[in-house]
Each structure stands twice: as C-alpha cells, then as structure tokens.
C-alpha cells in the first residue's frame, strides 16, 4: 500500500484523523520527533538543535554554521532510510522532504478556516480568542517558513504540494477518513519497480548531501540510477576548484557512479558561497560598548571565516547567549549596566561550555585573577594583535570540539 504523509494546520482535528487512520490501516505512525531522534543518532547533533529546522526563526549564526542545512540533510537521510519500509503514516513537516518523483506517496493536507481553528484552540487549551489566534498565527509562520525554504512557496497550504486538501471545517472526521481510504486504493499510488528505484535515488542523494555537509558544503543534490547532480546555488570566485572538491567528496559515497555539477538559479545573485570551516569558531559573540571598535573587529573576524555577531551591552549579550547559544564570547569588562565580570559569572553559571575571552583596555591584575577564577578562557588587553586574537579563538574552538567528542 502507498505511504501517507499528512501536513496539518494546528487545531484541525489532526490528532483524531491520525489515530483513526492508524486504526483503519494498521500503518506505522512516524512523527517529526521520531525522525529528529533518528537524525540525531545518525549525526551526533543534539535532537533539540535538529528540531529547530522546523521553526521560522533561523539562528543569526546560521550563515556561518549551516546548522539548519545540516539538520535538514540528516533529516532527509533518516527519512530516506524509513521509506524503504511500507505502510507508513508520516505526519508533520518532514513529509515535504520526500521528492515528488516518489509516486507511491499519498500527500494530504488538513486545514480549516481561522474561526474554526480559533474555536477549537480556545476549547482545547482554555485560551481566549485573541490568545488562540496568536498561537495559531505563530505556528502558521513556521509552516510558511518551511515551505518557503524548500519550495519558495509562502503559502504552506498551496495545492501544488498535495494530492488532497481536506477542509476540516466542512469535513467531519469520518468523512475525512473515508476520503483518504478511497484514494489510498487508486492504481496510480501503487508501488512499482520504478517508484522503488526513486526511493533508492533519494537515499543515495541524502547520503551524498550528508557527506558534503560534514565537510562544510551546502549544495543541492539529486540522483538517478547512481548518476549524481550537484547544484551550486551561490556565487563562488573559483568555481572549478569548488566543483573539483565537491566531486572528490561525493565520489567516495558508495553507489555513486557519475557526478555532474551545475549552477542553479541563485548562482548569479549577490550572496556568496561560504564553506563551513570546522577548525575555526563559527559562533562568536562580541560584547563591547565601543561600537566602532567592535563592529570593525567583527568584520575582521568574518574575513577570517569566523562567524560573529555583536552586542553593545551586557543585557543584550545575555539575551543572545540564551537565544543563540554562541560557542565563544569576546567580552569587554567596562560597560554601562551589567559589566563584563557579571556577564562572565552568569554565563559560566548557566552555560559553562561557552568559552569566554576577556578583551579589555581598563582591566587590572585583580580583574584578571577574578576573571580566570570565574572560568575565562583567556584575558587579553586592548589593543590586541588580530593574529593573537585569532590564534586564541582557534585554541578556544579546539577545546570546544574536544569536549564535544568526549560527550
């Protein structure tokens, strides 16, 4: 029987539909959480970080880390491995990762008008209409961001994405189940030898994408009978060198017979291809109230392929630490409001894995001792030679990567 994917809007009776479908079909349910855990096992990346791929807000460090793209690559691999089985019921975002070429998939969307959803949310969670609407809009933003990233479609309920769209405000649960079961038996959805091969192609393309992601690359990957096509969607100065490197990585993946490279629609836009360098820190938070100094420092680090963002006071820095989880901080001591020593103390209390480099022009020996006792990685004085700072950052990164391997 075909595999079923369901992409539901929240508060569209999705839980009842899924439960009834399992009862009627005997299918094995697979959720985004299941695939996230599988992707975490395959990658060694924490499941909580992989799950962020499904939310609309992307980390400000992502253009340097490619975390979202790596997470999606491993989700594809986990999904491709699942698809070798039959009788699956996939619910959530992940079903959109299945290529259209795989024909034995019944793709379903459950949606309803806003008044129906608000009434259901208010009843189910005891929310006011205003609170319910806000919650639904927030979750719809995640849906729209997801389909926009994958298909350049801002409408997550667009008919081109599905075989069936069921308006749950006009369709009761029993009717919805019957409609799905009726379509499930159509000849066009039966698994064929060709559709089995497209699953194999998807698995191979996912394996290649993961291999490339593990070397810091992010390109489009497709496969057909062992022939792999790599699509470069961002401009690069030395295209032939990049093509050669991509081919050398993809070529060692078992099952790859031939490799072609091409440039995609986004290649001629202003965005620049950036390979992720695992040997330098990619999530550096610079905290200093001297705006011109810290912005210049950020630019100089970016030129050295170190991803950095800036905070101009202690309060903003602590907020970014909570939201973005930087790996390294470069921290000034003398700032208005919460000073650097207090920021250091709070960071080490809540997230001791973040390495903090003190960079100050006003510190004393007493300050240095205090900072090192609180857990600072290094204590540097302004002005600092950029090569010394870069070397210190790399040493901090080495410590972080060593600790990650241990855990």
Q: Are 288 and 316 in contact (CB under 8 A)?
A: no
**pLDDT score, position 134:** 93
**pLDDT score, position 116:** 96
pLDDT tens digit string along 323-368? 888 999 999 999 989 999 999 999 999 999 999 999 999 889 999 9
Structure tokens at 328: 């390294």
Given a cut of 70, the residues of the chain with pLDDT beneath it are 266-277, 407
Fold (topology level) of 284-406: Rossmann fold (3.40.50)
Which H, E and C letters describe the chain, residue by residue?
CCEEEEEECCCCCHHHHHHHHHHHHCCEEEEHHHHHHHHHHHHCCCHHHHHHHHCCCCCCCHHHHCHHHHHHHHHHHHHHHHCCCCCEEEECCHHHHCCCCCCCEEEEEEECCHHHHHHHHHHHHCCCHHHHHHHHHHHHHHHHHHHHHHHCCCCCCCHHHCCEEEECCCCCHHHHHHHHHHHHCCHHHCCCHHHHHHHHHHHHHHHHHHHHHCCCCCCEEEEECCEEEEEECCECCCHHHHHHHHHHHHCCCCCCCEEEEEECCCCCCCCECCCCCCCCCCCEEEECCCHHHHHHHHHHHHHCCCCEEEECCHHHHHHHHHHHCCCEEEECCCCCCCCHHHHHHHHHHHCCCCEEEEEECCCCHHHHHHHHHHCCCEEEECCCCHHHHHHHHHHHHHHHHHHHHHC
**How would you class 55 by CB atoms within 10 Å of its CB: exposed for 0-12, middle for 13-18, buried for 19 or more?**
middle
Domains 3-189 and 284-406 share a fold: yes
Tell me phi and psi for residue 322, to 5 degrees.
-70, -40
**pLDDT score, position 307:** 86
**pLDDT score, position 274:** 65
CATH 3.40.50.360 fits 3-189, yes or no: no
**pLDDT score, position 278:** 73
**pLDDT score, position 199:** 97
CA distance 212 to 219: 8
pLDDT tens digit string along 244-276? 999 999 999 999 999 999 988 766 665 666 666
The pTM is what? 0.85
Structure tokens at 326: 């930087």
Return the domain boundaries, the chain. Answer: 3-189, 215-263, 284-406
**pLDDT score, position 265:** 78
Mean pLDDT in the chain?
93
**pLDDT score, position 269:** 62
Number of Cβ within 10 Å of residue 259's Cβ equals 20
**pLDDT score, position 198:** 97
């Amino acid at each position: 029987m075909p595999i079923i994917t369901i992409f539901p809007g929240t508060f569209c009776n999705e839980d009842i539909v899924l439960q009834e479908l399992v009862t009627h079909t005997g299918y094995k349910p697979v959720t985004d959480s299941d695939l996230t855990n599988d992707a975490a096992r395959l990658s060694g990346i924490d499941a909580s970080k992989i799950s962020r791929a499904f939310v609309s807000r992307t980390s400000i460090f992502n253009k340097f880390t490619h975390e979202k793209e790596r997470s999606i690559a491993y989700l594809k691999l986990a999904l491709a491995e699942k698809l070798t089985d039959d009788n699956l019921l996939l619910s959530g975002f992940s079903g959109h990762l299945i290529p259209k070429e795989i024909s034995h998939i019944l793709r379903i969307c459950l949606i309803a008008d806003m008044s129906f959803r608000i009434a259901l949310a208010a009843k189910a969670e005891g929310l006011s209409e205003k609170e319910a609407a806000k919650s639904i809009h927030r979750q719809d933003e995640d849906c729209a961001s997801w389909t926009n990233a994958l298909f350049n479609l801002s409408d997550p309920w667009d008919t081109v994405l599905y075989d069936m769209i069921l308006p749950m405000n006009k369709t009761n649960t029993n009717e919805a189940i019957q409609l799905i079961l009726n379509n499930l038996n159509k000849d066009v959805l039966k698994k064929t030898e060709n559709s089995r091969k497209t699953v194999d192609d998807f698995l191979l393309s996912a394996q290649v994408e993961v291999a490339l992601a593990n070397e810091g690359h992010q390109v489009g990957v497709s496969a057909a009978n062992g022939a792999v096509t790599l699509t470069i969607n961002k401009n690069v100065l030395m295209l032939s060198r990049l093509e050669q490197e991509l081919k050398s990585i993809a070529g060692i993946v078992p099952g790859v017979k031939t490799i072609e490279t091409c440039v995609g629609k986004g290649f001629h836009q202003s965005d620049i291809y950036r390979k992720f360098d695992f040997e330098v820190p990619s999530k550096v938070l610079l905290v200093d109230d001297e705006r011109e100094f810290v912005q210049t420092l950020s630019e100089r680090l970016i030129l050295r392929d170190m991803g950095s963002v800036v905070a101009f006071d202690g309060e903003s820095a602590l907020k970014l630490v909570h939201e973005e989880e930087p790996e390294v901080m470069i921290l000034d001591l003398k700032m208005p409001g919460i000073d650097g020593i207090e920021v250091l103390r709070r960071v080490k209390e809540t997230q001791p894995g973040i390495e903090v480099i003190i960079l100050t022009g006003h510190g004393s020996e007493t300050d240095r001792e205090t900072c090192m006792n609180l857990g600072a990685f290094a204590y540097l004085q302004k002005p600092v030679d950029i090569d010394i700072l870069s070397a210190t950052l790399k040493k901090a990164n080495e410590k972080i990567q060593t600790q990650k391997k241990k855990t």
